[in-house]
Amino acid sequence: MAGALRRIPLRRVALVTLLALSLAANVVLVRQWIADVRASHVARLDPAQLGIHAADRANPPPPGPVLVLFGDSRAAMWPTPPALTGYAVVNRGVGYQTTAQIALRIDADVAPLHPAVVVLEAGVNDLKTIADLPQRRGPIVADCEANLRHIVERCRAIAATVILVSIFDIGDVPLWREPLWSDDVAAAVREVNRFLPTLGGPGVVLLDAGSVLDDGRGKVKPAYQFDYLHLLPSGYDALDEPLVSLVRALPR
């Protein structure tokens, strides 16, 4: 009897703990939902989100050869590589953007800079929608590949060398996101990355991010993960080494 009485508080503690964890998970999900709703409103009002870099576009292009970091949030979070000398580095990344949105920004955010080099990182925001729209997997992958081809061709048309960064692997998906996630997202990332070498040719160089960031399980190394989609500065430091080597090898 005494043992049973001692177990009752423990059960209550366990129930309270589970309730607190459930409430915390719901708060995270609601905040993510609010962020997604706000992002969708912005996308409808300004599909290319040209307002984000509008102030920067009002300035004249920097002197000397220009290197543009172009793409989604993974590009936006990429700090200027300290060892990348001889170029004026301009970041034109925009968070949440799909390849379709990024393609809409080339004429506004890239072409006026007359860049010598465009470092393109894009695609994960297309492919992560497969978790919510599994029935559209085929068209999502096909559109992502077609848009990447268009972006590369358009950047080449303005005489820029394109360093095409493969899509970073997915990191460890948190528990709160797992019910709304699918392993097929990572499979689609691998599929598009297998497509990227077909875009190679004169003026297009591939940077294989997976060979730098992969932990051997098909995921980003934990030491490089900011979250399951983004990198810590240490991850970008790791990518900077091959990036700088590729840039230095380009004809000037």
DSSP per residue, 85-103: -SSEEEEEE-TT--HHHHH
Locus of tokens 């607190």: 20
What CA–CA distance (Å, rounded) separates 213 from 193? 14
Report which of residues 215 and 43 the model is more confident about: 215
Burial 76-96 (b: 16+ CB within 10 A, else e): bbbeebeebeebbbbbbbbeb
Average pLDDT over residues 173-197: 94
Q: Do strands 88-93 and 66-71 pair parallel, antiparallel, or not at all (unpaired)?
A: parallel
Q: Look over the chain and give the mean of its residue pLDDT values, rounded to a whole number.
A: 91
What CA–CA distance (Å, rounded) separates 70 from 109? 9
Per-residue model confidence (pLDDT) at position 36: 72
Per-residue model confidence (pLDDT) at position 38: 73
Who's near 226: CB < 8 A, 6+ residues apart?
A: 77, 232, 235
pLDDT beyond 80 at 137: yes
Who's near 98: CB < 8 A, 6+ residues apart?
A: 72, 125, 126, 144, 147
What CA–CA distance (Å, rounded) separates 247 from 252? 10
For the sheet with 161-165, list strands across it.
Answer: 88-93, 66-71, 117-121, 161-165, 204-207
Report which of residues 26 and 158 the model is more confident about: 158
pLDDT, tens digit, 9 for 90 and up, residues 62-84: 998 999 999 999 999 999 999 99
164 three-class SS: strand
Burial class (CB in 10 A: 0-12, 13-18, 19+), 148: buried
- Model confidence at 5, in pLDDT bands (50, 70, 90)? very low
Q: Which stretches of the chain are assigned E, i.e. beta strand?
A: 66-71, 88-93, 117-121, 161-165, 204-207
Give me the residue spans of the domains in the chain.
1-45, 51-248
Per-residue model confidence (pLDDT) at position 37: 73
CATH topology of domain 51-248: Rossmann fold (3.40.50)
